[in-house]
Structure 1
């Protein structure tokens, strides 16, 4: 069968290629550039814990060596610290502070902050060892033709030629050629916000901690008197963002240098410390959402499908989630033939999540930037304001939390054995330690992305016994038989515990790590029905894709 054609060699396209290769699906990546990225320290991304784990799983590289996990977060208003969070110490409330300062600790893993070109290079390095992935450089797409059995694409350039593929995925950015060739509209709002950006090497008073500083005392102009964000990177480098007032005023190099000097002096008692300016730019935030993410055998992902990210530079994080969601569905279709309901679910799930985030941003940002009207929405206006912004930057809360797929068309119907755990259906599962079928002890996330469903039995006490003593005891033989009978390959795992789950709870997990359902005990019929729904319905519903049918 023909490979999947991926248009665009940015982080989303490269991640998709690696995710497909992990499931034995070949791909061709059409890269319109020369095959390398120009270093831009001011262009960075923030990845949530599970998205960073996805990249590490695919590349085999510890991203902590290339990026920075923040030691904490500080939110300031004028000269006052409004909120301070220390990561990794849930039982340590930190030193006592003023009554109006919120000092907390959190056991959650902090976001990972990494330069985008560093992330891209890590993905490219991993692909050099992948025999199933071909990267065609200097190949600019100009034609797409669909038939019932596949897709044909033409590229121009020094190596212009025709390419034959089973499916085609446009990961080619905001000006996507794929989207335009498929005549897909891309409505939304332009220039929702603008930020002046600088990457510099300097010593700041809070090493390793990200900072949101609203209404700094040395500035009185701009929205809410100004807003500055500082995010640490490796080797003493920081990314600084200044929220710009509405309009199209030119951001000159002189203006940026003045902002840098003024800000550093304000943070260090009036004297500008030594610094090395590495890179500058202007980050313009757009909110756009493609009308369709699937047209027959052609799909859109990443910035080609959506633009968002007013807070926390999480736009790429969502693009990587697109790739993770789509990869296992394309892999199943590639190996077993297209299943329309399963392929359609990519748009239904991911577009709904992004649409919800855009709606929340459009509703809340005017209130957060405008100030006074917030009182009618959040009691304790200034504190509520800072909490919402902080959560947005940290990838949680109404402005930043990743969406789940509770309303997915793949969600199973009512099941008699359905149980409740701390993870809602459709959300990402907790990364607990599990025992695999070969007796090895691994993290649950290590088993994701292989194309198989995961069935996790919660069985307290199994960790203290050798596997040979419990694998044939109790409910294990019955559960193992039920897993073998499922309509798709599945791996049986055993966990000592899972948040909110009782003994003998059985979890069904999708290949991309989202919980399908939790069940009380072993109910083979319910487990089969849930697995069948996860695959898009009964096997007899599988049909060949028709070009242009969507």
Structure 2
């Protein structure tokens, strides 16, 4: 088949092409730029645990330089300390890096990947679809026609793909505006991110003003000041005054030495495309949605789009003896759009409370505790917790199997991202569960306490393992058997079925071949192939 055409060479487009390559699917990335990114220290990204792990897995790069992972979180209101958090193994720190560093690492990984071709200075101007694929035309010095099996628009807020597909993009403009500065200095909280609401030194501006300080590597900080609605332009003199005022307020009244590296104004819009798929063309990232108020991060959702879509495109691209059902590709919009829409609704409900609006019955209609309730909502957004920030679960997905009598509850709800536990891989090595994601197959994890002290060859032929291995061999798609000593909330002999993007399909009590087969078939978009009923395809013995 023809490659997948990826329009846009930002983080989402590059991540999608690398994710497709891990599934052995070739792609062409149409980059309207010169193939490199402008270095802007004030343009940074904050990635949560799951999306940080995804980009590290795809790029083969560790971003754990000193300062990139925060040591803690501190929130203040006026002169009062509201909350402090320390990050560690039980509470992983977000990853904070300059966007050009992230994109550069992804570009280097793309350059090493033979399945990916990047066409620079190639701006899309038309798409033509037919029964067997589609053709995209680019203009510029290297303008030409490109043939593809599918096309994904990762080309940002002003997406050409979205416009060519005539998809509406309704929403709200300028939900929030921030003045931004990147500078090198020393603050009293090395390595800790800081949210300060209503700082006492402000001599002007609204009472609800706030400033956020986020550390980066090499002693650099990004500072964001919330601007009042319909405020005037932020001149260089005004921004320097804000910097000096803020640093002095945090450092006991005198401004410490600092080196100003970059400045800007960041405007947050909230928009959601009406459709994310038209035939063989899809939207992902900022082309499909814009969000980012209250500390939430739009790139998180864009990377989750890429992770969700890549394995579904790959399964359809490879086909095999039983072509993937159309419902599999349809589920991309059903799953991802619902998650982003819920995130936008949560932000819209919180904004009047946190920004001084007149919501019904005020703050008590939503959260108790006055100022502490405000702080809790904002902390959720900044740290990726709760409705504003936690990774979404595909609970109502069309790929979710119906509950059965053998389904058991574990620490992960069906449809939610799995916990990253240590597992034994097929070669006998110990790896993290997330390291086995995105390789083109389903994962089946058996919870078997005590196996960690024995070599895999000694227990693969013992107990229920032969029956489970036979059940996995009969599944409608390739699956990898992994063994974990424990999993949160799971009893011994629990069997977990996991999608290629790391979301739990189901957890079963013991080896249930027929139920495992049916759950896998549903997660792949349809019922058992015609002429091959579930019972016969999965008959490898009774439950154990």
**TM superposition score normalised by structure 1:** 0.94
Distance in 2 (alpha carbons) for counterparts of 1:216 and 1:186: 37
Matched residue, 1:101:
none
Distance in 1 (alpha carbons) for counterparts of 2:66 and 2:35: 20
Deviations 1:84-138 (A, max 9, x none): 001117xxxxxxxxxxxxxxxxx21110001101000000011111100000000
1:273 and 2:273 matched: no
1:502 and 2:475 matched: no
Matched residue, 2:47:
47
Give the secondary structure class of the aligned counterpart of 2:374: helix
Corresponding residue to 2:332 among 329, 339, 346: 346
Give the secondary structure class of the aligned counterpart of 1:428: coil
Give matches, 1:63-82, under 5 Å: 63-65=63-65, 68-82=68-82
Distance in 1 (alpha carbons) for counterparts of 2:419 and 2:384: 16
Query: Is the contact made by 1:87 and 1:109 (CA closer than 8 Å) also made in structure 2?
Result: yes
Matched residue, 1:103:
none
Corresponding residue to 1:120 among 78, 103, 109: 103
Q: In 2 relative to 1, CA 248–218 (structure 1 residues): closer, same or farther, beyond 3 Å?
A: closer
Give the secondary structure class of the aligned counterpart of 1:254: helix
Matched residue, 2:503:
514
1:434 and 2:423 matched: yes
Q: Relative contact order (C-alpha < 8 Å, sep 6+): which is higher?
A: 1
Matched residue, 1:374:
363
Give the aligned CA root-mean-square deviation in angstroms: 1.3
Deviations 1:392-416 (A, max 9, x none): 1000112211211011000001222
Distance in 2 (alpha carbons) for counterparts of 1:281 and 1:255: 12
Distance in 2 (alpha carbons) for counterparts of 1:17 and 1:539: 30
Matched residue, 2:26:
26
Give the secondary structure class of the aligned counterpart of 1:343: helix
Matched residue, 1:385:
374
Matched residue, 1:96:
none
1:224 CA drift (Å): 3.6
Give the secondary structure class of the aligned counterpart of 2:5: strand
Distance in 2 (alpha carbons) for counterparts of 1:390 and 1:318: 18
Distance in 1 (alpha carbons) for counterparts of 2:528 and 2:509: 26
1:301 CA drift (Å): 0.1
Matched residue, 1:482:
471
Give matches, 1:47-196, under 5 Å: 47-65=47-65, 68-88=68-88, 107-196=90-179
Distance in 1 (alpha carbons) for counterparts of 2:187 and 2:66: 21
1:63 CA drift (Å): 1.5
Query: Is the contact made by 1:66 and 1:114 (CA closer than 8 Å) also made in structure 2?
Result: no
Give the secondary structure class of the aligned counterpart of 2:293: coil
Corresponding residue to 2:480 among 487, 491, 494: 491
Give matches, 1:224-373, under 5 Å: 224-312=207-295, 314-336=297-319, 337=323, 339-370=325-356, 373=362
1:371 CA drift (Å): 7.5
Matched residue, 1:416:
405
Q: In 2 relative to 1, CA 154–366 (structure 1 residues): closer, same or farther, beyond 3 Å?
A: same
Corresponding residue to 1:450 among 425, 430, 439: 439
Distance in 2 (alpha carbons) for counterparts of 1:388 and 1:479: 45
Q: In 2 relative to 1, CA 248–225 (structure 1 residues): closer, same or farther, beyond 3 Å?
A: closer
Q: In 2 relative to 1, CA 224–401 (structure 1 residues): closer, same or farther, beyond 3 Å?
A: farther
Please identify runs of 4+ aligned residues in structure 1 that moved more than 6 A: none
**TM superposition score normalised by structure 2:** 0.95
Give the secondary structure class of the aligned counterpart of 2:253: coil
Corresponding residue to 2:383 among 385, 394, 418: 394
Distance in 1 (alpha carbons) for counterparts of 2:357 and 2:280: 47
Distance in 2 (alpha carbons) for counterparts of 1:67 and 1:41: 14
Query: Is the contact made by 2:442 and 2:497 (CA closer than 8 Å) also made in structure 1?
Result: yes
1:72 CA drift (Å): 0.2
Distance in 1 (alpha carbons) for counterparts of 2:13 and 2:516: 34
Distance in 2 (alpha carbons) for counterparts of 1:66 and 1:165: 42
Query: Is the contact made by 1:66 and 1:118 (CA closer than 8 Å) also made in structure 2?
Result: no
Give the secondary structure class of the aligned counterpart of 1:281: strand
Query: Is the contact made by 1:455 and 1:509 (CA closer than 8 Å) also made in structure 2?
Result: yes
Which runs of 5 or more residues in structure 1 are unaligned?
A: 90-106, 542-550
Distance in 1 (alpha carbons) for counterparts of 2:511 and 2:523: 18
Query: Is the contact made by 1:388 and 1:398 (CA closer than 8 Å) also made in structure 2?
Result: no
Give the secondary structure class of the aligned counterpart of 1:318: helix
